[in-house]
């Protein structure tokens, strides 16, 4: 029996699954491709990713990718102040993508549409009466801008506060146009309900992130012989604001206290495209900044404790789930652990710098395999289970 067609619009190419949003979008693509002929439209904002485009043919009937120059897109975003729309909308607006979406929906007679990241709903606005649209907001993106505004002053504060309001308005519009609004956790969905009318609440659904437990397995044979000794490890895309902020906060307020007690302690920051501020930490006070690595598992496995000191966050942190799957203890802020309903004795939650340093030191000095962390992952967040209900949100006979 021929599978029905589905249009999948994604703000960033879902391969390779090497960072938070791409891990989720790729696993959603895998699940949907088992039930639908997928027509994928997406942007590529990292030249490194172009080498993997052929991999998407295994899951898609057709793939349409456009290069996204970050500088040019930021300049486009400035037009938001003239148009009265959010920076995010103008950042992603693209005539070629719009033409492809229009043509694909018409030529393939597509009714089912999956939007990954609300800004991609820009391209379905004129078709909304004729499609069955499901959107994965992932998290309440507008709320991140509210958090950014709280930590800024002057013109920056005004810009971020404006983006919070404008993007929230767009999110609400998209929710009203969609049959289902998906979020990465129950708490995230509840937060979103606070900004939308009551009649839309029943459309809000939580679909948790998962972990590839066969891949993130502490028993997997990995070569870590070339790695330096690692006490503390942080993993994540190092051009993402929240990760940069977390590492800088940890290095400034927590790490000096740790080194005062444990002068030989080492801290490894693992992730692609580190900013100049993050790179400036490299080689100082036992800190290593790796940049992009071939296999993040080797660093997690080598480390004694994984940290997630996020000060600004929304949604589920894959870095926490992956460390837990590798049977590592985790020291996290309450912001970083939000949405992960795991309270094992191998997870420390702390928000003050002193408390954070104390827990990190204890984990370095008392190295134990955190089997209960992995057990929780095995019992709760396999991708096959967390995404099992996704196909049923669409019209299978469309």
Give the tens place of pLDDT for each residue, 47-99.
Answer: 999 999 999 999 999 999 999 877 766 776 677 777 788 889 998 999 999 99
- Domains of the chain in sequence order: 5-210+382-393 (3.40.50.2000), 232-380 (3.40.50.2000)
pTM of the shown model: 0.83
Distance separating alpha carbons of residues 55 and 39, to the nearest angstrom? 14
Q: What's the length of the chain? A: 398
Instruction: Return all residues near 391 (Cβ < 8 A) that are at least 6 apart.
Output: 31, 32, 34, 35, 36
Distance separating alpha carbons of residues 328 and 56, to the nearest angstrom? 32
Predicted pLDDT at 229 = 78
CA atoms within 13 A on the CB side of 198: 0
Predicted pLDDT at 72 = 65
Question: Rounded to whole angstroms, what are the CA distances from 313 to 4, 27, 244?
Answer: 37, 22, 12
Helix axes of 371-380 and 318-325: crossing angle, nearest 10 degrees: 120
Helix axes of 318-325 and 20-33: crossing angle, nearest 10 degrees: 80
Rounded-to-10 torsion of CA 254, 258, 259, 263: -170
Tokens representing residue 305 in the block: 């404790």
Distance separating alpha carbons of residues 159 and 27, to the nearest angstrom? 34
Per DSSP, the residues of 314-354 read -S--HHHHHHHHTT--EEE-HHHHTT-----TTEEE--SHH
Q: E strand or H helix at 182, and its extent? A: strand 180-183
Predicted pLDDT at 20 = 80
Residues β-bridged to residue 308: 332
For the chain, list residues with pLDDT below 50.
none
- Residues 9 and 123: beta-carbon distance below 8 Å: yes
Predicted pLDDT at 314 = 73
Predicted pLDDT at 206 = 94
* Cis preceding-peptide flag for 16 (omega within 30 of 0): yes
Residue entry with tokens 């044979």: 221
């Amino acid at each position: 029996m021929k599978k029905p067609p589905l249009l999948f619009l994604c703000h960033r190419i879902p391969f390779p699954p090497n960072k938070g949003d791409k891990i989720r979008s790729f696993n959603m693509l895998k699940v949907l491709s088992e039930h639908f002929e997928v027509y994928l439209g997406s942007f590529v904002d990292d030249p490194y990713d172009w080498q993997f485009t052929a991999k998407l043919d295994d899951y898609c009937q057709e793939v349409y990718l456009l290069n996204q120059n970050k500088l040019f897109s930021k300049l486009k975003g400035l037009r938001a102040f003239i148009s009265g729309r959010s920076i995010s909308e103008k950042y992603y607006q693209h005539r070629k993508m719009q033409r492809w979406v229009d043509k694909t929906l018409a030529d393939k007679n597509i009714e089912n549409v999956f939007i990954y990241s609300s800004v991609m709903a820009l391209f379905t606005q004129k078709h909304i009466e004729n499609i069955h649209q499901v959107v994965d907001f992932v998290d309440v993106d507008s709320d991140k801008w509210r958090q950014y505004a709280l930590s800024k002053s002057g013109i920056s504060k005004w810009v971020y506060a404006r983006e919070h309001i404008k993007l929230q308005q767009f999110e609400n519009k998209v929710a009203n146009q969609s049959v289902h609004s998906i979020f990465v956790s129950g708490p995230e969905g509840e937060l979103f309900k606070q900004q939308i009318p009551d009649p839309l609440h029943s459309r809000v659904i939580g679909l948790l992130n998962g972990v590839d437990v066969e891949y993130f397995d502490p028993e997997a044979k990995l070569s870590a012989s070339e790695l330096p000794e690692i006490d503390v490890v942080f993993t994540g895309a190092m051009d993402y604001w929240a990760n940069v902020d977390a590492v800088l906060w940890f290095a400034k307020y927590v790490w000096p206290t740790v080194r005062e007690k444990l002068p030989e302690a080492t801290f490894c920051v693992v992730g692609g495209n580190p900013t100049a501020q993050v790179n400036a930490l490299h080689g100082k006070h036992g800190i290593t900044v790796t940049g992009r690595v071939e296999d993040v598992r080797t660093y997690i496995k080598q480390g004694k404790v994984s940290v997630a000191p996020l000060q600004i966050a929304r949604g589920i942190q894959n870095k926490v789930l992956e460390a837990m799957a590798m049977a590592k203890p985790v020291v996290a802020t309450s912001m970083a652990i939000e949405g992960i309903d795991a309270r094992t004795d191998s997870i420390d939650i702390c928000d003050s710098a002193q408390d954070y340093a104390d827990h990190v030191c204890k984990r370095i000095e008392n190295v134990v395999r955190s089997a209960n962390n992995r057990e929780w992952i095995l019992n709760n967040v396999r991708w096959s289970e967390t995404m099992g209900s996704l196909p049923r949100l669409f019209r299978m006979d469309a």
